[in-house]
Structure 1
């Protein structure tokens, strides 16, 4: 901040002490940290560019907020659904609901299944609203009709898109530095495929498997 001649606004600044939920503080969690002469309090969660993260690196809070805002938009659209065509409703839902489900969804790779199911329920409700289906109707045919990928597949699609930008040299440096092309130690039939990425060895399944450097190549 000093290099860029920026002044810290301590009223709008939060600090997170990131840790695993299984780890505890041996001495006690600190309450503040001094930055540029300002005392910044540690928070249990914070928002960065619209994405919520907790100090134990859980995405549960983010998914909770996404579901709440998405259901709010669905209720608003449902009040005028009888005035709209299927295509118009699909456009509104895509703009105000699916966009929320897709925002930063690459960060949700590998998160617990029960959390992704909450997002899937939102998408299921959206599909039923667009096609005026009953709440007991099976949702898979509805998603196929709308050409909507389910939540898990949308996350994989986003990661694949980021990998494609790596191969096309359009990825930002902070992402391309995390990936490298796989080069086998001996000649294999797959050696000629330059689109295979190296999957690094990961020690921790909880967070290591969710990291971009592992999830994207996988």
Structure 2
């Protein structure tokens, strides 16, 4: 990516904080622009995006290519691309459930309400629509992906009261898995 190359050319003139700001402005903003569309793509597509993120992380942290990237990403508090996509979908789901998202998204996700009293009644689970007709495209749709990802979260994360506590718990959970 040209932006990484340009930042790399001036890297020795700028401090770490400025480098991080430049990378966020020109690289991660582009990686995040369509992150929800990345969810469910085959690894061959995601690998290309992950390489861009890895290069940007190495540039910010001043680490050589021979060093493993996972500790670098963790020190920068950056989620890998796959987990980043799940994070964005789950954040939008949380906002939709708490009426902080547009109405058309809030209408898609609904809490699971069994007809009788079950142990699963208070788990804050979402209603999962029926299986999609196409595996590749259907499971990537928000209407299916959001409840699937949400129902796999621990109850502690799902029951967060504020958006900031949800973000913090979700990011911690995604780093741990």
Q: TM-score, normalised by structure 2?
A: 0.79
1:140 counterpart = 2:70: yes
Q: The residue matched to 1:170 in structure 2 has which SS?
A: coil
Does residue 124 of the first structure (1) align with residue 54 of the second (2)? yes
Contact 2:97 2:109 in 1 (8 A): no
Instruction: State the distance in 2 between where 1:136 and 1:104 align.
Output: 30
Deviation per CA, 1:16-51, whole angstroms, max 9, x where unpaired? xxxxxxxxxxxxxxxxxxxxxxxxxxxxxxxxxxxx
Aligned CA RMSD, in angstroms, stands at 1.2
How many residues are paired up? 147
CA deviations over 1:98-118 (Å, ceiling 9, x no partner):
011011211221111111111
Structure of greater relative contact order (alpha carbons < 8 Å, 6+ residues apart): 2
TM-score relative to the length of structure 1: 0.65
CA contact (8 A) 2:97 2:106 kept: no
Q: 1: distance between equivalents of 2:115 and 2:51?
A: 45
Structure 1 position 197 matched with structure 2 position 95: no
Per-residue CA distance 1:125-180 (angstroms, 9 max, x = gap) = 00111111111211001001111111111111101111111121121122122222
Whichever of the two has the greater Rg, that structure is 1
Note the C-alpha offset of 1:185: 4.0
In 2, the alpha carbon distance for the partners of 1:80 and 1:118 equals 24
- C-alpha separation in 1, matches of 2:62 and 2:134: 45
- Counting strand residues as a fraction of each chain, which structure ranks higher? 1
Q: Which residue of structure 2 aligns with residue 94 of structure 1?
A: 24
Flag the structure with higher helix content: 2
